[in-house]
Structure 1
Amino acid sequence: MDEEILQKLDQVLVYQQELKTMMLALSHNPLILEQAEVWFTKEKVLDELCIAPRTFYRRRKAENWKTKRSGGTVYYLKSSLRK
């Protein structure tokens, strides 16, 4: 019976070492999760959509783009912009 317990403990030790190796690999190469939200400045929106400033203001008002302010700068959520 003691021999059986020792074999099981050896198996558990092997599993533990495998898990430790996997965790170490994950800590060095984290999985890439879904792309984070991307926020554009007004200039970047003009460039991305290839539109004039007047069109920008008109579409911003009509399409209700998602915005946020940081330090006096307005940012626009890329996913809320439609081409």
Structure 2
Amino acid sequence: MNNNKNPAPGDGLRSVRSTTLFRTVNFELYAKPNAVIMGLGLVAIIGCAGYIAYMRSKYEGMGYYGAVREDGSEQFIKKKSKWD
């Protein structure tokens, strides 16, 4: 715990007196940002979104489209022509 009597501007919650339980439960408020971990998380999120977009375009390229059922769920159905 910081016993700093005169907190400087920008100290944030680190300068406030708090309990160990509060600091344990709210760890992200006291930890300094880590650019490497943030970058890895960003790459993972972009990778997942890209994979979902790729799979959706792959299904649409095969002639499927997203149809919404009565219960609100989405199902990919093969496009059918009225002339077949």
Normalised-by-shorter TM-score class: 0.3 to 0.5
Higher helix share: 1
Give the TM-score normalised by the residue count of structure 1: 0.34
By relative contact order (CA 8 Å, sep 6+), the higher-ranking structure is: 1
Higher radius of gyration, 1 or 2? 1
Give the TM-score normalised by the residue count of structure 2: 0.33
